[in-house]
Structure 1
Amino acid sequence: MKAKDLSVLLGVILIIIMLVIPLPGWLLSILILCNISLALVVILVSMNTQEPLQFSIFPSLLLLLTLFRLGLNVSTTRSILSKADAGGVVDTFGSFVIGDNPLVGFVVFVILVIIQFLVITKGAERVSEVSARFTLDAMPGKQMSIDADLNAGLISEHEAKERREKVEKEADFHGSMDGASKFVKGDAIAGIIIVLINIIFGLIIGMAQMDLTFQEAIHTFMRLTVGDGLVSQIPALLISTATGIVVTRISTEGNLGSDVSDQLLQYPKLLFIAAGTIFLLGFTPINFLLTTSIATILAIAGYLLLKKPQEEMVSTVEEDQTESEAMKSEENVIELISMDPIEFEFGYALIPLVDTNQGGDLLDRIVMIRRQLAIELGLVIPVVRIRDNIQLNPNEYRIKIKGNEVDKGELLLDHYLAMTPDLEDESIEGVETKEPAFGLPAKWINEDTKDEAEMMGYTVVDPPSVVSTHITEIIKKHAYQLLGREETKQLLDHLKESYPILLEEVTPEPLRIGGIQKVLSKLLWENVSIRNLPIIFETLADYGNMTTDPDLLAEYVRQALAPQITKQYAKDDSSVRVLTISGNVEKMIAESIQQTEHGNYLAIDPEAQQNIFKSASEHVEKLAIQGETPIILCSPPIRMYVKQLLERYMPHVVVLSYNELEANVQVQSVGVVDVP
């Protein structure tokens, strides 16, 4: 056990000993001085904290200090009544206050007790009670504010957890302070009772047992009683003041001293008014020299405080000028830290691709791509930044999303790209490669063999079409990353023009922009268009009050978009070929869903995962060979978990639920995903 922990335990044991065993006068003097020192330390700490929680141990410390002080009172009372002696400290305090007139000294002591009990203690108790009540009443609002900031993406999960813990600690602290303030009040009452006991029984014992005259008894026991009361009430007064400071403290960036000086002296001109008022008082019978001196001090202080902001203003102007000159210098690198949402970088050999003077039309193609994707996805695609990069190979290009390279490829401008998924003809000569958008085997062929390749079933495209297709597919794949809060706000503003009431039902309550953005991103992540915003927001309005979980809301929206999803995957709007999930696998997945306060997740056995992957991959490969889009159909409660399960190994697989297909569509099962 550490020494500091052991010292606290020994202190509690010493308090118990004081209540039972008589202590000598010299030891009482030491303990009394320790009591005063602790009280001074407590009030100094309370004045230097920036917020109440920085002194969270104060309620428990208040109980221990109160018990220590009462133990000292019991020991000094025992010593006063039995030996008419309570140590040098008590005797010195009593003699200093009483002097030659016990009655005047006693009156001074009574005034001190009244101040301590009626002003400081009662006020601190009332403030503690009100603070506890208002803190507890404000807890639900603070918790909702934290949840709103978290849903809006303004804070992280870790920050939200810290803020929730702080709110709980504040409530516990103020509740404890409400109870601990009763200790201070009880201590003040006990001090008054002990003083009366010392005087009354001291006179009785002095005259009856010690054979003292009334005058001697009153002088002796009055001196000791007042001395004992002072050494007890002074620390009690300091502790009561510290209690009032702590419970009335508002969280700021400074301590009490800096806050008082900053706020009390924030209007220097008022010091001149005060100085003038004090100076005028000198023309009354009040001492003219005294009032003039105080007025002069106030005027000087006001002048110095007025001068300080001017110096700070000059310094700030000089700093702004320096920064402005730095911004204008050629060394300014502010523009280098900016990041474009989409970037297309290429080597120098591909410059003709974008140079309009050399016949390049990539810029016009990208404009058409943005228009096409706006119709398909319902998302306003950011401007694509196109720049050359000498660090790339001459024929190389790469595509970046928010500063991160997501894909790259190579082009031969004087060639055509010939692709075929199922034909191999060695008579067609060319450079072996892969089509960059879909990864299909392909060849770069020259213009002389173009017609021959087309006659043999190859799909032949020119380099601008290759790169345009690649850019289109990359943007589709990463559209969910391009939809941020600013882009979501633009969509909401557009929706508000036609559907203002619908928008008011969804935001800012129950969903903030961050929550809406998460739902839309999840739709884009699975290639579901968000163009039909009215239907999406109708669904959010219906279910937003039930849950704010973006995963669940996205599932509800997908079901509402069933006609759109059906048309996207059904052949001729009449039939769809799918793989189904067996009842055994559905039950296994449903039972493996773990529900926590941070959301639901799938915790399935690794061996079972491998069996599901193996079964699904066999059927998916068969469909891929036939040129069909692999679609897995399952029940609504497990759809998103099936997608999460297969996403890593088979990202191209589409997972639908029964509720996402219209009733008039014929579903043809071409396989069942099952495990042994």
Structure 2
Amino acid sequence: MKGKQIAQLGVPIGVVGVVLLLVVPLPAAMLDVLIVLNIALSLVVLLTSMYIKRPLDFSVFPSMLLVLTLFRLGLNVASTRLVLGDGYAGQVIDAFGHFVVGGSLVIGLVIFLILVVIQFAVITNGAGRVAEVGARFTLDAMPGKQMAIDADLNAGLIDEDTARKRRADVAAEADFYGAMDGGSKFVKGDAIAGIIITIINLVGGFAVGMLQMGMSAGEAIERFSLLTIGDGLVTQIPALLMSVSTGLIVTRATSEGSMGETASTQLTQSRTALQIAGAAAIALALVPGMPKPPFLLVGAALLLAGQRIKARDAAAERDLALAEVQQVATGGPSADTPEALIEQMRVHALEILLAPDLVDMVGSGTDQDLLARVRGLRRKIAMELGIVVPPVRTRDSVDLPRSTYVVKIAGVEVGRGEAPGGRVLALGDNLDGIGGTPVVEPVFGLPGKWIPAELRHAAEMVGATVVDRVSVLITHLGAIIDANAPRLLSREDVRVLTEGVKQVNPSVVDELVPSLLTLGEVQRVLQGLLAEQVPIRDLSRIFEGLTLRAKVSTDVEGLVEAARSSLGPALAAPYAHDGVLRVITLEPSLEQHLMEAMRPSDGGTQLMLEPHRMDHLLSTLRTTAAAGESSGREAVLVCAPVLRAALRRTVVLALPTLPVLSYSEVTGAGLQIETVGVIHDAQAIAARG
């Protein structure tokens, strides 16, 4: 049988064996083996709980606690049966009753009571309280942790698999602390059961010795009491180890190493504390009557440890100073050289300016590091839109007000917000009772408050969504990049993207560039697609559509429509829900009139409508779209392919977020079409009226 199969069968067989202990008599030799196994298992659990880095690494502990408690109680029953039946329960219990306590009933009772008090009154009560509080706060913190994971996922800092794993860890942590809250009751009950069993054994042994074995009262007390105390010590020592293990598990905080490593690092972080403690120990040795060797030995050891920490800190400071000197020696040009001035003059495509008090957002931890979150956002946008966002230059500016950040594109400010230090943004409707600074969220326009970080839990309890300040900035930056994607797509970016397509599909690139279109014309087409929030990841298919259209005309509007047509179902699919696409259509007479009103212009075809018809068209669209959104039925506007571009330029003036698709884009997606509204012709309505 393989080791894995043995491991799978070991626990079930062991549980069945524990149940058998309660009903089947055991020989004394077998009981000795099981008692030693019980002590060894408890010691292994204790050491394992000390070496884990986080509680979830020992997630089986609550179940192990139940199984080992049942095992220990089974041993109590088996040993009681032997003590009362034979007056002998094996060498282990006999050794604990005679050798460990010196054969003294008084000493044995005192040691047993001390162990019970330590376990029941100190460790068990404390561990139970910590487990209860930990379970409650872990459950209360679950929504905030889930939102933090969603924020990291939306910012591109983590991928979907990592987010799924972290969500599972959050759920597992809540389940673990909930199980530990109940598991701590096992330990408490075990301590009570040990006391009761010991009392029963004392009384039962005294009665059995006198009534069945014909012993005198003194002989019965001496024989059965020592066996009972030995049995109690044998079971209370593993119980004490399990209680300590429970306390260690529930009191562990997040750390990067085991308990020993963390304790060693943190206890030696202050040489002053060690030196003062060493001096105090030596001073106590000078008190008359005090034994000098122990105090002098401990004091000298503390002073030596403090001196070694001082030497370690001095070496670290020297290394840091040397690194700073090397950085200055090998650094860039000084501020007044032509190279430095040229670098300062250069206009960066994308730039974040931070007020001086916001500089701590850069490099303040894995989850809060602004630069790492920006890198994640660039990856996310590349996967969604298909463009490579230029590197984001981040620098401080003394000209900005406190807690203010500014986003610039090509040197022009396009966004501004606040991210005060030590605060988090709470978004919700029930924030009146929480102190903070009212603010309007910069992306979605939601009302909120910048509240102190220590009030985060209070805000979550009233149903608010709490976002850290780095996430606020990253979300704002992401919205700005989405809105300005056409401006960020440079000619050089188009060349790099084209070279990437050429590596996997050289024929389509060779046929299009530069034979039919220049890079500049391709750039204008891609910018036109990005302006309508159309991803350009599938460049091979886009280039194929452009190749066919460019042989007929190089008009940019026609090229954009050809590219959209080549993408086909990918345009309608994002707006569908459960395979259903809800659409707003135009009355045929209105659609015909709009096509007749199309006029060419430098910016593409435009609709030249009478003012009353234009007002009626936009107001009706606004009303129909709003009605769909209020009922949770968001829709898209569909029209003839030849009309789509001109109609979108008109609709975007009043409804910038309403998608406008053509019939060919909708019908090619294989979706179920549901009409939620029809826009009628104002003149036809007036004629019918």
Q: Provide the TM-score with structure 2 as the length reference.
A: 0.56
Q: Aligned partners of 1:637, 1:476: CA distance in 2, in Å?
A: 17
Q: Aligned partners of 1:240, 1:47: CA distance in 2, in Å?
A: 13
1:572 maps to: 608
Asked if the contact 1:342/1:400 (under 8 Å) is kept, the reply is no
2:495 maps to: 399
- Residue 646 of structure 1 deviates from its aligned partner by 6.4
Q: Aligned partners of 1:82, 1:226: CA distance in 2, in Å?
A: 17
1:476 aligns to 2:521 (yes or no): no
C-alpha spacing 1:123/1:647, structure 2 compared with 1 (3 Å): same
Q: Which of 248, 260, 265 is the equivalent residue of 1:262?
A: 265
Q: Aligned partners of 1:656, 1:666: CA distance in 2, in Å?
A: 25
- Residue 641 of structure 1 deviates from its aligned partner by 11
Asked if the contact 1:278/1:294 (under 8 Å) is kept, the reply is yes
Q: Aligned partners of 1:434, 1:127: CA distance in 2, in Å?
A: 71
2:131 maps to: 128
1:295 aligns to 2:331 (yes or no): no
Asked if the contact 1:53/1:170 (under 8 Å) is kept, the reply is yes
1:27 aligns to 2:19 (yes or no): no
Asked if the contact 2:486/2:528 (under 8 Å) is kept, the reply is no
- Residue 87 of structure 1 deviates from its aligned partner by 0.6
1:278 maps to: 281
Asked if the contact 1:437/1:473 (under 8 Å) is kept, the reply is no
Q: Aligned partners of 1:309, 1:277: CA distance in 2, in Å?
A: 23
Q: Aligned partners of 2:113, 2:329: CA distance in 1, in Å?
A: 69
Secondary structure of 1:140's aligned partner: helix
Aligned positions of 1:375-524 closer than 5 A: 381-382=487-488, 384=490, 399-401=495-497, 404=500, 468-478=520-530
Structure showing greater Rg:
1
C-alpha spacing 1:663/1:261, structure 2 compared with 1 (3 Å): farther
Aligned positions of 1:27-46 closer than 5 A: 27-46=30-49
- Residue 43 of structure 1 deviates from its aligned partner by 0.8
Asked if the contact 2:582/2:634 (under 8 Å) is kept, the reply is no
Asked if the contact 1:18/1:71 (under 8 Å) is kept, the reply is yes
- Residue 144 of structure 1 deviates from its aligned partner by 2.7
2:9 maps to: 6
Q: Aligned partners of 1:13, 1:196: CA distance in 2, in Å?
A: 28
- Residue 97 of structure 1 deviates from its aligned partner by 3.3
Asked if the contact 1:573/1:665 (under 8 Å) is kept, the reply is no
- Residue 322 of structure 1 deviates from its aligned partner by 6.9
Asked if the contact 1:142/1:167 (under 8 Å) is kept, the reply is yes
C-alpha spacing 1:197/1:386, structure 2 compared with 1 (3 Å): closer
1:139 maps to: 142
Aligned positions of 1:89-108 closer than 5 A: 89-108=92-111
C-alpha spacing 1:641/1:108, structure 2 compared with 1 (3 Å): farther
Decide which moves more: 127-136 or 38-47.
127-136
Asked if the contact 1:98/1:106 (under 8 Å) is kept, the reply is no
Q: Aligned partners of 1:64, 1:231: CA distance in 2, in Å?
A: 18
Between the two proteins, the alignment pairs up a number of residues equal to 455
- Residue 260 of structure 1 deviates from its aligned partner by 1.3
C-alpha spacing 1:100/1:341, structure 2 compared with 1 (3 Å): closer
C-alpha spacing 1:233/1:384, structure 2 compared with 1 (3 Å): same
C-alpha spacing 1:118/1:469, structure 2 compared with 1 (3 Å): same
Deviations 1:303-358 (A, max 9, x none): 112222333444455567778888889xxxxxxx9999599xxxxxxxxxxxxxxx
Aligned positions of 1:160-559 closer than 5 A: 160-284=163-287, 285-315=289-319, 381-382=487-488, 384=490, 399-401=495-497, 404=500, 468-478=520-530
C-alpha spacing 1:235/1:628, structure 2 compared with 1 (3 Å): closer
Secondary structure of 1:190's aligned partner: helix
Asked if the contact 1:32/1:72 (under 8 Å) is kept, the reply is yes
Asked if the contact 1:399/1:405 (under 8 Å) is kept, the reply is no
Decide which moves more: 130-139 or 636-645.
636-645
C-alpha spacing 1:476/1:637, structure 2 compared with 1 (3 Å): closer
Aligned positions of 1:651-666 closer than 5 A: 664=682
1:56 aligns to 2:162 (yes or no): no
- Residue 142 of structure 1 deviates from its aligned partner by 2.1
Decide which moves more: 264-273 or 93-102.
93-102
Deviations 1:141-177 (A, max 9, x none): 2223333333344333322222221111111111111
- Residue 292 of structure 1 deviates from its aligned partner by 1.3
Secondary structure of 2:495's aligned partner: strand
Deviations 1:88-143 (A, max 9, x none): 11111111233153112211211111111111111111111111111122222222
Q: Which amino acid aligns with 1:236?
A: A
Secondary structure of 1:573's aligned partner: coil
Secondary structure of 1:112's aligned partner: helix
Alpha-carbon RMSD across the aligned residues, in angstroms, is 5.1
Asked if the contact 1:59/1:180 (under 8 Å) is kept, the reply is yes
Q: Aligned partners of 1:111, 1:478: CA distance in 2, in Å?
A: 76
Decide which moves more: 128-137 or 227-236.
128-137
Q: Aligned partners of 1:51, 1:600: CA distance in 2, in Å?
A: 45
Asked if the contact 2:184/2:246 (under 8 Å) is kept, the reply is yes
C-alpha spacing 1:3/1:435, structure 2 compared with 1 (3 Å): closer
1:148 aligns to 2:244 (yes or no): no
Q: Which amino acid aligns with 2:52?
A: T
C-alpha spacing 1:25/1:658, structure 2 compared with 1 (3 Å): closer
Q: Aligned partners of 2:272, 2:534: CA distance in 1, in Å?
A: 55
Asked if the contact 2:103/2:226 (under 8 Å) is kept, the reply is no
C-alpha spacing 1:288/1:558, structure 2 compared with 1 (3 Å): farther
Q: Aligned partners of 1:642, 1:207: CA distance in 2, in Å?
A: 102
Q: Aligned partners of 2:197, 2:634: CA distance in 1, in Å?
A: 63
Q: Aligned partners of 1:261, 1:95: CA distance in 2, in Å?
A: 39
Secondary structure of 2:95's aligned partner: helix
Q: Aligned partners of 1:641, 1:48: CA distance in 2, in Å?
A: 63
C-alpha spacing 1:480/1:43, structure 2 compared with 1 (3 Å): farther
Q: Which of 79, 101, 107 is the equivalent residue of 1:76?
A: 79
Deviations 1:544-594 (A, max 9, x none): xxxxx9989xx99999xxxx9999765423699xxxxxxxxxxxxxxxxxx
Q: Which amino acid aligns with 2:292?
A: F
Q: Which amino acid aligns with 1:381?
A: R
Secondary structure of 2:214's aligned partner: coil
Decide which moves more: 79-88 or 247-256.
247-256
Identity %: 38
- Residue 380 of structure 1 deviates from its aligned partner by 6.8
Unpaired runs of 5+ residues, structure 1, are 330-336, 344-365, 368-373, 388-397, 408-432, 441-465, 485-524, 528-548, 577-598, 602-615, 650-654, 668-676
Q: Aligned partners of 1:663, 1:656: CA distance in 2, in Å?
A: 21
